[in-house]
Amino acid sequence: MKLSLKSTLIGTGASLLASTAMAQNLTLQSAFPFSLEVIDTSIHRFVEDVATATDGELTFTPYDAGSFSPPFEIMENVGNGSLDAGWSAASYWAGQIPAAALFQSIPFGPDVPKYLSWLYGGGGLELWEALYAPHNVVPIPCGSMISEAGGWFTEEITSVEDLNGMSMRISGLGGEVISRLGVSPVSIPAGETFLGLDTGRIGAAELSFPTIDTSAGFFEVAKHYYFPGWHQPGSLNELLVNADVWAGLAESQRLAVRNACSDLSIRMFAHDMQAQSAALEAFRSAGVTVERFPEEVLAALQLATEEVLEEAAQRDNDFADVIASYQNFSERYDEYRELTAF
């Protein structure tokens, strides 16, 4: 649905498509609530870095989730020009673009360094851009997420059977995989997940890693916190820019945006890996049990992952091309990593 945003906001970039370096201010809406501290800090750092790099010639005005567009409609509204840009996760579009999920995370797949290596050195980014081009959207990797938790559960998980019949907030490929074990995946925005757990609408939820999960408050209503995040060993956020707006920016402005996003991805990884211990200790103090999934559960999830990826590739040519690109790259990457491991 096309929004009437342009009639309520002044100075948006979609009306400033000249190729000269004239000052532009672009609307940027997040799919994630700013109440999640890491999201709030990251998006505002990106905004500040772009403004600094361009001497104020290109600025973004960030808006919280739901300000103009529902989170799951951000791509549509960026594509049709209602929004200049969006900050989101590629798995949100998996319903209409199955291969998009592969650009947020791959179950039992890459961590952040391997993901970035594939995108920038293995042809992944070109595939991502081609995938979104028919939607009039340019995707840019913008911010990284270290390996997530496996999820918050209101009941203890001791076997595969304990998952059967459960409803869980989980999206993308992870949701499809875990459904093979009897779980009903539920796609709800991050800002509505606490209520879902508190009311019993869902019995489990995954959101992110501990410092983000702290902001969400899940530890108040779910006391079992499981690892590893098999569904997202590493993940990326995306900056979506309307293709017409992007084409109207000066080359120096486009470079500033890409550089700010790359810098953010590196800084988030460097910071987040060492920041989780304190959050875990706080959860334990609040009565949360922090533990690993039973090996039986992880083995079943890995087998289901292989089935889901193979079936998805058979259904969708784009998915087949993207997963083949990643798997071919992975073989080359892993050979040297294994030789140099100690």
Q: DSSP for 29-41, please give it.
A: EESS-TTSHHHHH
Residue 247 has pLDDT above 70, yes or no: yes
**Is 96 marked as a binding-site residue?**
no
Residue 176 main-chain phi, psi, to 5 deg:
-65, -40
Contacts of 253-257 with C-beta under 8 Å, sequence gap 24+, read 253/21, 253/24, 253/54, 253/57, 253/58, 256/49, 256/50, 256/53, 256/54, 256/58, 257/50, 257/58, 257/140
Residue 239 has pLDDT above 90, yes or no: yes
Predicted pLDDT at 12: 45
**H/E element, 334:** helix 317-340
Q: What is the mean pLDDT of the chain?
A: 93
pLDDT in tens, 148-175: 999 999 999 999 999 999 999 998 899 9
**Is 232 marked as a binding-site residue?**
yes
Q: Which residue has the higher pLDDT, 15 or 66?
A: 66
Query: Which of 121-135, 136-150, 184-198 is predicted least confidently?
Result: 184-198
Give the mean model confidence (pLDDT) for residues 259-274. 95
Q: Which residue has the higher pLDDT, 171 or 58?
A: 58
Residue 296 has pLDDT above 80, yes or no: yes
Give the mean model confidence (pLDDT) for residues 323-335. 97
The CA-atom distances, in angstroms, between 258 and each of 31, 148, 251 are 20, 25, 11
The pLDDT-based confidence of 2 (bands split at 50, 70, 90) is low
- Domains of the chain plus CATH, in order, are 5-146+234-273 (3.40.190.170), 151-232+277-313 (3.40.190.10)
pLDDT in tens, 106-132: 999 999 999 999 999 999 999 999 999
Top mean pLDDT of 10-24, 164-178, 250-264 is at 250-264
The pLDDT-based confidence of 7 (bands split at 50, 70, 90) is very low
pLDDT in tens, 40-53: 999 999 999 999 99
- How many angstroms from the chain centroid is the CA of residue 236? 5
Give the mean model confidence (pLDDT) for residues 50-68. 98
Distance CA 144, CA 237 (A): 6
- Beta strands, E only, the chain: 24-30, 58-63, 85-88, 137-145, 151-153, 167-169, 184-186, 204-205, 224-227, 235-242, 289-292
**Is 180 marked as a binding-site residue?**
no
The CA-atom distances, in angstroms, between 342 and each of 105, 179, 296, 337, 338 are 27, 37, 28, 10, 9
The pLDDT-based confidence of 17 (bands split at 50, 70, 90) is very low
**Is 176 marked as a binding-site residue?**
no
Residue 89 has pLDDT above 80, yes or no: yes
Give the mean model confidence (pLDDT) for residues 294-307. 98
**Is 73 marked as a binding-site residue?**
no
Residue 263 main-chain phi, psi, to 5 deg:
-60, -40
